């Protein structure tokens, strides 16, 4: 039986939480379950609105879509969210340049179906920790080109610059992944408020140490805050075969 727990925290430095999370263990449209995490950006309350509106749009689209494959559902839902965010930013000057990251996931049979835009991440944790998504960020591009190593990327002054976001351009390209799941695996979706504060090895250690799913999520958020809590911290944990 699938089990999930989610948590979103404002952190220690921000006054507003611009992250938004959605979890459904029950079917959403043609998907048996659905998990979404968005990290918004933009002045005033633009980031807060962008993440909320994007997740609302995506879930509504999936609920009503006739498409049956996760790839098609996710890709088209993200395009629809991008269209909505672009249109509303044009209509409302206070929402100018708003945008958001987005990670979508669904457990279908023994596979995890994943789509992402931006630098919010999805990991699968078994014996080890594996990052499934690839950040759409300036530092990730530099790593690919060989001009920056991963260790230096963690403290690079431009590590928060993302190269793709919902609402950034008229056209949007999302990545899609399928991962085979095994008994005992845990899925972690998170905003960069977690991963900028904790190393992957620290995340793995916390998830192995804590027994139940709620304690795991709470311990991750607490550790990120203890490391500085410089941004909003959001986590979704899923145990596919609990």
pTM, entire model: 0.95
* Residue 154: inside a domain: no
Condensed to tens digits (0 to 9), the pLDDT of residues 171-210 reads 999 999 999 999 999 999 999 999 999 999 999 999 999 9
- Main-chain phi, psi angles of 64, to 5 degrees: -100, -10
Q: How confident is the model at residue 139 (pLDDT cuts 50, 70, 90)?
A: confident
154, pLDDT greater than 80 = no
What burial class does residue 153 get, using C-beta atoms within 10 Å of its C-beta: 0-12 exposed, 13-18 middle, 19+ buried?
middle
* Residue 155: inside a domain: no
Between helix 213-226 and helix 200-209 the angle, nearest 10°, is 140
* Residue 145: inside a domain: no
Neighbour count for residue 155 (Cβ, 10 Å): 9
* Residue 42: inside a domain: yes
Look up the domain containing 175 and give its range: 3-134+162-239
* Residue 146: inside a domain: no
* Residue 44: inside a domain: yes
Average pLDDT, the chain: 95
Tell me what the mean pLDDT of segment 126-138 comes to: 95
* Residue 51: inside a domain: yes
* DSSP string across 183-217: TT-EEEEE-HHHHTTS-HHHHHHHHHH--SHHHHH
Return the CATH number at 226: 3.60.40.10
Condensed to tens digits (0 to 9), the pLDDT of residues 62-111 reads 999 999 999 999 999 999 999 999 999 999 988 989 999 999 999 999 99
Alpha helices in 92-239 (DSSP H): 138-145, 150-153, 192-195, 200-209, 213-226
Task: Please tell me the total count of domains within the chain.
Answer: 1
* Residue 206: inside a domain: yes
């Amino acid at each position: 039986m699938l089990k999930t727990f989610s948590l979103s925290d404002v952190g220690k430095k921000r006054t507003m939480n611009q992250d938004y999370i959605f979890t459904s263990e029950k079917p959403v449209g043609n998907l048996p379950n659905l998990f979404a995490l968005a990290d918004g950006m933009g002045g005033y309350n633009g980031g807060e609105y962008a993440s909320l509106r994007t997740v609302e749009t995506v879930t509504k689209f999936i609920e009503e879509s006739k498409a049956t494959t996760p790839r098609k559902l996710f890709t088209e839902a993200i395009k629809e969210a991008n269209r909505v965010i672009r249109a509303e930013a044009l209509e409302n000057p206070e929402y100018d340049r708003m945008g958001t990251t987005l990670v979508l996931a669904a457990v279908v049979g023994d596979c995890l179906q994943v789509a992402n835009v931006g630098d919010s991440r999805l990991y699968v944790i078994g014996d080890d920790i594996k990052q499934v998504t690839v950040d759409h960020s300036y530092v990730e591009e530099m790593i690919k080109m060989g001009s920056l190593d991963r260790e230096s990327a963690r403290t690079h002054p431009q590590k928060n610059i993302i190269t793709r976001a919902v609402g950034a351009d008229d056209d949007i390209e999302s990545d899609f992944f399928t991962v085979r799941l095994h008994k005992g695996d845990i899925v972690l979706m998170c905003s960069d408020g977690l991963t900028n504060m904790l190393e992957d090895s620290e995340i793995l250690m916390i998830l192995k140490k804590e027994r139940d799913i709620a304690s795991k999520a709470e311990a991750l958020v607490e550790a990120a805050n203890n490391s500085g809590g410089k941004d909003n911290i959001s986590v979704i944990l899923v145990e596919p075969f609990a």
